[in-house]
């Protein structure tokens, strides 16, 4: 997927000071892209960079929240927020405020969009990645909203067109692998749902996912994740084609887990292939 960004591989770090200066000067998205060139960004600059990429700088939608935690499925939301925070291992006193922030984000998002909470939506996986990037509750909400809006097109996913498109990409780039999976009746919705629901947040190592999102947000292309998924499958093709003795369920589980093998150092090369 050519998004007009040429990935750079040299160990040049001069761009980092250029980036820091640009952020101080409140640069726009175009300038940011030209400086970063599809590279993962430093931890201390990530929150600012993502907000520029997602177009959320200066927004404060969360101030319109009515403060009422009274929607259908509220207890499920609270429990899922607690489960997520328990996994993170923060101090006890921090946990309470983080759970509260998460519940506020999810509740207001559901209310403002007229949605019912679904524990299998991938939202907690996305929020877990966002929590690793230090933001205020308002910034957290804005980024979550922007990701849902731009990168996870619900109508496209609900109709199954996303999975159909992924199969067509696979068929075009690797007809043999596509034919094998068709024969096994393993359709993309069975193994890519967790990938695309969460922009790989539910399957990749956190460090890997942070770097992937750096690149993805710079490209600003919601379909880049399809090409990333394609690269993951094609890289594992020999392993997949040797699964004739596995049950369909075992094959699906294997396919779902492939993104776990990615390492943070591989992300630039991996994304340039996509």
pLDDT tens-digit series, residues 35-49: 999 999 999 999 999
Among the residue ranges 7-11, 102-106, 175-179, the one predicted with the least confidence is: 7-11
Residue 158 is predicted with a pLDDT of 64
Please state, as a whole number, how many other Cβ atoms lie within 10 Å of the Cβ of residue 38: 19
Token pair listed for 10: 């040299």
- Is 154-273 in CATH node 1.10.275.10? no
- Banded model confidence at residue 270, pLDDT cuts 50, 70, 90: confident
Residue 155 is predicted with a pLDDT of 60
Full 3-state SS string of the chain: CCCCCCCCCCCCCHHHHHHHHHHHCCCCHHHHHHHHCCCCCCHHHHHHHHHHHHCCCCCCHHHHCCCCCCCCCHHHHHHHHHHHHHHHCCCHHHHHHHHHHHHHHHHHHHHHHCCCCCCCCCHHHHHHHHHCCCCCHHHHHHHHHHHHHHHCCHHHHHCCHHHHHHHHHHHHHCHHHHHHHHHCCCCHHHHHHHHHHCCCCCCCCHHHHHHHHHHHHHHCCCCHHHHHHHHHHHHCHHHHHCCCCCCHHHHHHHHHHHHHHCCHHHHHHHHHHC
pLDDT in tens, 176-216: 999 999 999 999 999 999 999 999 999 999 999 999 999 99
Q: Indicate if the pLDDT at residue 169 is higher than 90.
A: yes
Q: Indicate if the pLDDT at residue 66 is higher than 70.
A: yes
Domain with CATH 1.10.472.80 in the chain: 154-273
In sequence order, the 6+-apart residues with CB closer than 8 A to the CB of 213 are: 50, 129, 199
């Amino acid at each position: 997927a050519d998004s007009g960004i040429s990935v750079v591989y040299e160990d040049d770090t001069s761009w980092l000071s250029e980036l820091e200066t640009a952020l101080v000067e409140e640069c726009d998205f175009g300038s940011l892209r030209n400086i970063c060139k599809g590279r993962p960004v430093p931890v201390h600059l990530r929150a600012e960079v993502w907000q520029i990429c997602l177009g959320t700088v200066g927004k404060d939608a969360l101030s319109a929240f009515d403060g009422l935690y009274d929607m259908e499925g509220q207890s499920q939301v609270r429990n899922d927020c607690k489960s997520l925070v328990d996994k993170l291992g923060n101090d006890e006193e921090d946990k309470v405020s983080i759970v509260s922030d998460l519940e506020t984000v999810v509740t207001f998002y559901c209310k403002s969009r007229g949605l019912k909470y679904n524990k299998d939506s991938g939202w907690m996986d996305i929020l877990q990645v966002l929590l690793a990037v230090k933001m205020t509750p308002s910034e957290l909400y804005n980024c979550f909203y922007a990701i849902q809006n731009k990168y996870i097109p619900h109508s496209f996913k609900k109709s199954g067109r996303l999975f159909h498109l992924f199969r067509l990409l696979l068929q075009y780039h690797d007809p043999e692998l596509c034919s094998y999976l068709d024969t096994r009746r393993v359709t993309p919705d069975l193994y890519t749902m967790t990938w695309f629901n969460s922009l790989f947040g539910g399957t990749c190592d956190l460090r890997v996912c942070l770097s992937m999102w750096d690149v993805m947000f710079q490209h600003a292309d919601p379909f880049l994740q399809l090409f990333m998924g394609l690269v993951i499958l094609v890289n594992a093709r020999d392993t997949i084609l040797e699964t004739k003795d596995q049950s369909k369920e075992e094959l699906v589980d294997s396919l779902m887990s492939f993104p776990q093998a990615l390492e943070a150092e591989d992300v630039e090369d991996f994304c340039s292939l996509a």
